[in-house]
């Protein structure tokens, strides 16, 4: 069964419209990726699956692993960590913790995410997993779970290693997962400066000063990686994630991220078309304890489309013919197909929003007769 469903009833139309959506910006960075947070729509990309050294962008994964431990109740922000000599001696950017001194998880997270301290990151890794090698295994397990198929981590900090790499695409889905899972802890990425042991250091993400809508997430730099930046911003309730890897300066990585974000917000809009568990239609169900079955989607359906093309959206609901009881809640019984200017842009499974048991013998016989007469 095919049904046309009126989309215009489900979302508000943006008042901003553009006659033409230009091509995505062309940047000199080795790789970049611009993605909508809710829909996952890719708005711009270049060599998004190119394996590159991530430098301190690695700390996004390190923070995800630590955040998960906190969310599961295995760590408290007030827990104290004894600083090992290895953590203290770790080269690169530093928080300036001291060997054998105790530092809280909260302080170390600030040191890792605001100051990009390698010493703080190793201290956290050792506390969570016992040693950094085991922590790297946790990082790789998380990467596999998230579908980061072109990533591999050998350390928590991003210090150069030939077997330590990721991609712009993988960093985008990693950042998306981190923000979804830990929205409160993610706010650490928006802090502009942090003082520890009397030493004040600024966040290296210059977009935090330039663009008030930017609230994270991480910079990175080594000779092998170049200058890298993953950023995220929210404008009019629309969050974008921008990844830029392999530029030649702090200015370039900052400008490239700003260019991508501005492009995405100027020409695209994300709409919530249907809410999870929203009844989209009632379908006839045969031989059941009731005659009508409410049908909808399991999850919210977000679509990111050009701002001037909302009138071109259409939806077709395709339901399996002759639905027979019993039906279980959540059972897939059809497909919602969304088209834009005649082109399919989304297919989502339609599910039963409630269970329907087998009807009485009388109801079953009645429906069998009705079906014979159809």
Q: Is residue 252 part of a domain?
A: no
By percentage, how much of the chain surpasses pLDDT 90? 89
Taking the CA atoms of residue 20, residue 23, residue 25 and residue 26 in that order, the dihedral angle to the nearest 10 degrees is: -150
Model pLDDT for residues 23-32, shown as the tens digit of each residue: 999 999 999 9
Model pLDDT for residues 327-352, shown as the tens digit of each residue: 999 999 999 999 999 999 999 999 99
Same domain for 208 and 63: yes
Whether the bond between 326 and the residue before it is cis, its omega within 30 degrees of 0, is: yes
Q: What is the extent of the structural domain holding 344?
A: 2-12+273-373
Catalytic option among 41, 59, 206, 218? 59
Q: Are 164 and 155 in contact (CB under 8 A)?
A: yes
Model pLDDT for residues 257-266, shown as the tens digit of each residue: 999 999 999 9
Region 314-320 average pLDDT:
95
Same domain for 171 and 61: yes
Region 283-293 average pLDDT:
93
Pairing of strands 292-296, 281-286: antiparallel
Region 112-134 average pLDDT:
99
Same domain for 191 and 46: yes
Total tally of structural domains belonging to the chain: 2
Q: Are 97 and 88 in contact (CB under 8 A)?
A: yes
Whether the bond between 246 and the residue before it is cis, its omega within 30 degrees of 0, is: no
Region 97-103 average pLDDT:
98
The CATH number linked to 292 is 2.60.410.10
Same domain for 313 and 233: no
Same domain for 185 and 43: yes
Q: Is residue 264 part of a domain?
A: no
Model pLDDT for residues 225-246, shown as the tens digit of each residue: 999 999 999 999 999 999 999 9
Catalytic option among 84, 93, 116, 175? 116
Q: Are 251 and 227 in contact (CB under 8 A)?
A: no
Same domain for 132 and 35: yes
Residue 6 has pLDDT above 70, yes or no: no
Predicted confidence at residue 367, as pLDDT, reads 66
Predicted confidence at residue 205, as pLDDT, reads 98
- Whole-angstrom distance, CA of residue 26 vs CA of residue 316: 36
20 or 7: which carries more pLDDT confidence? 20
Residue 18 has pLDDT above 70, yes or no: no
pLDDT bucket at 14, cuts 50 / 70 / 90: very low
- Whole-angstrom distance, CA of residue 371 vs CA of residue 374: 5
Look at 56-70, 165-179, 274-288 and tell me which has the smallest mean pLDDT. 274-288
Give residue for tokens 């969050």.
239
140 or 364: which carries more pLDDT confidence? 140
Residue 10 has pLDDT above 70, yes or no: no
Q: Is residue 178 part of a domain?
A: yes
Same domain for 8 and 43: no
8 or 292: which carries more pLDDT confidence? 292
- Whole-angstrom distance, CA of residue 207 vs CA of residue 250: 11
* Average pLDDT of the chain, as a whole number: 94
Please, which residues bridge with residue 339 across strands? 314, 344
pLDDT bucket at 310, cuts 50 / 70 / 90: confident
Q: Is residue 75 part of a domain?
A: yes
Q: Is residue 25 part of a domain?
A: no
Model pLDDT for residues 32-49, shown as the tens digit of each residue: 999 999 999 999 999 999
Q: What count of other Cβ atoms lies within 10 Å of the Cβ of residue 197?
A: 11
Same domain for 61 and 191: yes
- Whole-angstrom distance, CA of residue 129 vs CA of residue 139: 11
Residue where a domain terminates, one of 247, 265, 295: 247
Region 160-184 average pLDDT:
99
Q: Is 275 a known active-site residue?
A: no
The CATH number linked to 243 is 3.40.710.10
Same domain for 6 and 40: no
Same domain for 57 and 7: no
Q: Show the tokens assigned to 229.
A: 């930046």
- Whole-angstrom distance, CA of residue 251 vs CA of residue 100: 38
Catalytic option among 31, 39, 56, 232? 56
Predicted confidence at residue 5, as pLDDT, reads 53
Same domain for 316 and 192: no
Q: Is residue 20 part of a domain?
A: no
Predicted confidence at residue 4, as pLDDT, reads 47
pLDDT bucket at 3, cuts 50 / 70 / 90: low
Q: Is residue 90 part of a domain?
A: yes
Model pLDDT for residues 183-229, shown as the tens digit of each residue: 999 999 999 999 999 999 999 999 999 999 999 999 999 999 999 99
Q: Is residue 58 part of a domain?
A: yes
Q: Is 63 a known active-site residue?
A: no
Same domain for 293 and 240: no
Q: Is 156 a known active-site residue?
A: no
Handedness of CA 153, 155, 158, 164 (dihedral sign): negative
pLDDT bucket at 15, cuts 50 / 70 / 90: very low
By percentage, how much of the chain surpasses pLDDT 70? 94
Q: What count of other Cβ atoms lies within 10 Å of the Cβ of residue 268?
A: 22
């Amino acid at each position: 069964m095919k049904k046309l469903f009126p989309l215009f009833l489900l979302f508000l139309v943006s008042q901003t419209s553009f006659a033409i959506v230009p091509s995505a910006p062309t940047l000199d960075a080795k790789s970049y990726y611009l993605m909508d947070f809710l829909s996952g729509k890719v708005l711009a990309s270049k060599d998004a699956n190119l394996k590159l050294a991530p430098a301190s962008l690695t700390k996004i994964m390190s923070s995800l692993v630590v955040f998960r431990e906190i969310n599961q109740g295995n760590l408290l922000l007030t827990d104290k960590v004894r600083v090992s000599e290895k953590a203290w001696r770790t080269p690169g950017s530093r928080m300036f913790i001291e060997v054998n001194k105790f530092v809280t998880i909260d302080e170390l997270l600030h040191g890792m995410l605001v100051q990009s301290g390698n010493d703080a990151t190793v201290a956290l890794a050792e506390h969570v997993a016992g040693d950094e090698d085991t922590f790297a295994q946790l990082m790789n397990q998380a990467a596999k779970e998230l579908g980061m198929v072109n990533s591999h981590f050998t350390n928590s900090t991003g210090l150069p290693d030939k077997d330590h790499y990721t991609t712009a695409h993988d960093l985008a889905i990693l950042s998306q997962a981190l923000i979804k899972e830990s929205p409160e802890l993610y706010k650490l990425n928006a802090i502009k400066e942090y003082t520890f042991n009397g030493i004040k250091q600024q966040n290296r993400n210059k977009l935090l000063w330039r663009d008030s809508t930017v609230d994270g997430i991480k910079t990175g730099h080594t000779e092998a990686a170049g200058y890298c930046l993953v950023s995220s911003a929210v404008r009019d309730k629309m969050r974008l994630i921008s990844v830029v890897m392999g530029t030649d300066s702090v200015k370039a990585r900052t400008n490239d991220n700003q260019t991508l974000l501005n492009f995405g917000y100027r020409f695209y809009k994300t709409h919530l078309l249907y809410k999870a568990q929203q009844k989209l239609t009632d379908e006839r169900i045969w031989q059941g304890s009731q005659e009508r079955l409410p049908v909808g989607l399991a999850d919210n359906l977000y679509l990111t489309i050009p701002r001037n093309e909302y009138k071109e959206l259409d939806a077709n609901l395709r339901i399996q013919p002759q639905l027979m009881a019993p039906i279980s809640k959540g059972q897939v019984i059809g497909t919602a197909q969304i088209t834009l200017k005649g082109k399919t842009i989304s297919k989502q499974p339609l599910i039963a929003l409630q269970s329907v048991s087998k009807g009485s013998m009388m109801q079953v016989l009645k429906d069998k007769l009705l079906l014979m007469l159809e």
